[in-house]
Amino acid sequence: MVALDPHPLRTWTPTYSAWADELPSWLPETAVASIAPKPAVWTDHHRIIDRTYCVLDTLALQTALALDRVRVLAGTAIDVTGSRVTTSDGTIVDARHVVDARGTLDSRDLAQQTAYGIVVERQRAEPILEGSDAWFMDWRTDNGAMPGDVPSFLYAVALDADRVLLEETCLVGRPALDLGVLRTRLHHRLSHRNLEPTGNEDVERVRFSVEPPPRSQLHTGRGGPVLFGSRSNLMHPATGYSVAASLASADHLVERFRGGGRSRRSRPVHIWTVQKLRNLGLRTALSLQPEMVPQFFASFFSLPVELQRSYLSGHDDAVGTMTAMLKMFPTLPASARIAIARTVARPLHRG
Ligand SMILES: Cc1cc2nc3c(=O)[nH]c(=O)nc-3n(C[C@H](O)[C@H](O)[C@H](O)COP(=O)(O)OP(=O)(O)OC[C@H]3O[C@@H](n4cnc5c(N)ncnc54)[C@H](O)[C@@H]3O)c2cc1C
């Protein structure tokens, strides 16, 4: 087996989180840095989500993904087919199967998620957490944003026993909010809650596309490589989560190759349907009036946790995803239902 990356020895640094039930059983416990058994959301009011959320230990995760029996090459792929990779220095690697996991594009034409966060000691963060294990989303408007501005929420999770990440997040935008705006909003929100950032805190900056590259830029179909990770449908376009889905799908991929190209567990129609429904979720998120966004999530988090899971996790539960959306729709305010109906009626222009 051969792996190719421009910087194979680079240490990963982003803070990755996931729902605990999404993680594959082979992932060692050491890869989990902190657990929030009952994270909270603030939509129109405070709610507890009865589903364990966890923050991964990025270094331990990287270490756990051992490459012992893999020949690792440093290089940049410039041409990738289903059986051959050509790199920028002219190296050619032929293989029975090629997996293209080059991530998505950093393009403002794609919907992106942005966030700006600071890391503070647990003691300083306690008043912000207000007794919650974590804030999965806090949509309160004390961040200085004006009515009609693109909204952002506070995300607050423990990185370990001593440190908490406080992050102002723009869930999705095309374009997404600039990091400078998010920084200002975070400081405004924290000051309002009696936490004055000193400017010496460690900072996390987040910007990534929540959509794969346009199909016109991918080699798909017969003769193309297998797409994986955020380059494929493993990225949830309405939330930006992909890490747990990719980890959980690794075994399916191996099984698929062992089975000569088809996994017993693959359900292409279900996967396709889920992707279409999630893309609709993304278009809805992009088209909602700012003041409707917290109400939208109030409806979402009123769903039973099982349906929340169907919508947020995995990538082939078509019935669960559809049920979650249908159950949620009548609970939304009329203006949000009209916006969604318009989104459904509007043709999709992207390739
Ligand atoms: C700060 C931050 C926090 C995040 N938090 C979360 C989170 O909590 N949960 C979550 O699910 N997601 C999170 N995300 C999103 C997450 O990063 C991505 O979903 C995830 O990294 C996608 O993984 P990937 O392996 O598909 O692609 P990438 O992580 O983009 O990896 C692509 C790999 O391909 C290599 N590559 C690129 N081009 C070439 C080439 N031409 N030839 C060879 N190799 C190439 C790159 O070097 C890289 O190693 C976060 C992102 C950021 C930036």
Single-letter amino acid code for the residue at 189:
R
Nearest-atom number in ligand 1 for the CA of 205 is 1
* Percent over 70 (pLDDT), the chain: 96
With a cut of 60, say whether residue 317 has pLDDT above it. Answer: yes
CA distance 153 to 182: 10
Residue 261's pLDDT band, with cuts at 50, 70 and 90, is: low
CA distance 157 to 39: 9
With a cut of 60, say whether residue 350 has pLDDT above it. Answer: no
pLDDT at position 273, please?
Answer: 93
pLDDT at position 259, please?
Answer: 80
Q: pLDDT tens digit string along 21-49?
A: 999 999 999 999 999 999 999 999 999 99
**Cα of 133 from ligand 1 centre, angstroms:** 27
**Mean pLDDT, residues 196-203 taken together:** 97
Give 194 or 348, the one with higher predicted confidence: 194
Nearest-atom number in ligand 1 for the CA of 229 is 26
Residue 263's pLDDT band, with cuts at 50, 70 and 90, is: low
**Mean pLDDT, residues 308-317 taken together:** 92
**Cα of 98 from ligand 1 centre, angstroms:** 18
Among candidate residues 292, 332, 295, the one with its CA nearest the CA of residue 45: 295
Residue 172 CB-density burial (10 A; 0-12 exposed, 13-18 middle, 19+ buried) = buried
Q: pLDDT tens digit string along 62-87?
A: 999 999 999 999 999 999 999 999 99
**Cα of 135 from ligand 1 centre, angstroms:** 24
Query: Hey, which bits of the chain come out as E strands?
Result: 2-5, 17-19, 32-36, 40-42, 46-48, 53-56, 71-74, 77-80, 84-87, 92-94, 99-100, 112-121, 135-138, 153-158, 163-173, 202-209, 226-227
With a cut of 90, say whether residue 147 has pLDDT above it. Answer: yes
**Cα of 224 from ligand 1 centre, angstroms:** 21
Structure tokens belonging to residue 341: 């109906």
Residue 268's pLDDT band, with cuts at 50, 70 and 90, is: confident
**Mean pLDDT, residues 13-23 taken together:** 97
Q: pLDDT tens digit string along 276-301?
A: 999 999 998 898 999 899 999 999 99
pLDDT at position 35, please?
Answer: 98
Residue 262's pLDDT band, with cuts at 50, 70 and 90, is: low
Nearest-atom number in ligand 1 for the CA of 14 is 1
With a cut of 90, say whether residue 143 has pLDDT above it. Answer: yes
**Cα of 272 from ligand 1 centre, angstroms:** 22
From 102, 169, 219, mutation site for ligand 1 pocket: most ligand atoms within 8 A of C-beta? 102
Residue with tokens 């009123």: 302
pLDDT at position 351, please?
Answer: 39
Mean pLDDT for all residues in the chain:
93
**Cα of 192 from ligand 1 centre, angstroms:** 34
Instruction: List pocket residues of ligand 1, CB cut-off 6 Å.
Output: 4-7, 14-18, 76-77, 101-103, 204, 206, 208, 229-231, 235, 240-243, 246
Single-letter amino acid code for the residue at 192:
H
Nearest-atom number in ligand 1 for the CA of 76 is 42
Structure tokens belonging to residue 345: 């009626």
Least confident of 105-114, 227-236, 264-273, 302-311: 264-273
